[in-house]
Amino acid sequence: MRFSIWPDLDEPWPELRALVAHADLTGWDTVYVEDHFITHSAPESPLLEATGTLAALAAATERISLGTLVLSVTYRHPAVIANWAATVDQLSAGRLVLGLGAGWEEHEHAAYGLRLGSPGERVDRFVEGLAVVQGLLTQPRTTVEGRFFQVRDAACEPKPHQDHVPILVGAKGPRMLGVVAEHADRWNMWGSPAQVADKAAVLDAHCERIGRDPRSIERSTQSMVCVTDDPGRAQAFLEEHGTSGRAAIAGSAAEVAERIAAYAEVGVDEYILLTSDLGRGAQRLEALDALGAALVATQS
């Protein structure tokens, strides 16, 4: 199993850059960034934009892969996404993981006057957007005459540095899992090992229906994490996040690593660590190093 990080974009750029540079030097596989413009709890709070941040990180790192988790096709035309992706893949010498999603954040769409639409409409729009992105990244010219997007004899040059930029799709609904089976290289969802296993069975069934090997799709997940030697703090963290419906892990570095290792047993290829509850500055780097060492130990 690979191990990656997912920092928040609500911190100052120098701090974010230092964190990712440290992860680059210490063996973490990928850094992922979210695609939001407004924080949930404080809309006035600063929040760095995903595509600009990832381009800057491409120049500030040497080894670590760079991923979006995930770009919404409701925020940017897919032709814009494709041209951005090709450029960042060139800038990073082939380190981009292009994560895409159908969109879900209602208050953000309302604030910016962007149409979100019904769940069915979102999936339809997403499938069209994928056709535009994949065509532009791989074909000399692309034409898509859809309901939501129309591109005609469109070019995207230069092409990415990689022969094939991995397309990651975030999904958990039955229809979107079908889209993953048909179009994606990687699949991501939040959840506990049991929740991931449940949705993976649906994905596998979609793959079998269309004649695709289910294991040709890499699987990734993430959860809230607190590294602490204080049992009381760990329990409070689990209780706090248990009410939100999002998976959470808390305990010493060794205990957290052991629980993360359980994801490998349900076929997860990559675990993505949220760094938001690891503190800041030197404290965060120490926690990251301690957890990294513990995770390596689980692999041996």
Looking at the annotation, which residues are catalytic?
36, 105
Nearest to residue 163, comparing CAs of 138, 129, 127, 193?
A: 138
Nearest to residue 166, comparing CAs of 133, 190, 199, 141?
A: 133
**What is d(CA 263, CA 3) in angstroms, rounded to the nearest whole number?**
11
Burial grade of 14 (CB within 10 A; 0-12, 13-18, 19 or more): exposed
**What is d(CA 199, CA 125) in angstroms, rounded to the nearest whole number?**
22
CB count in 10 Å sphere of residue 232: 8
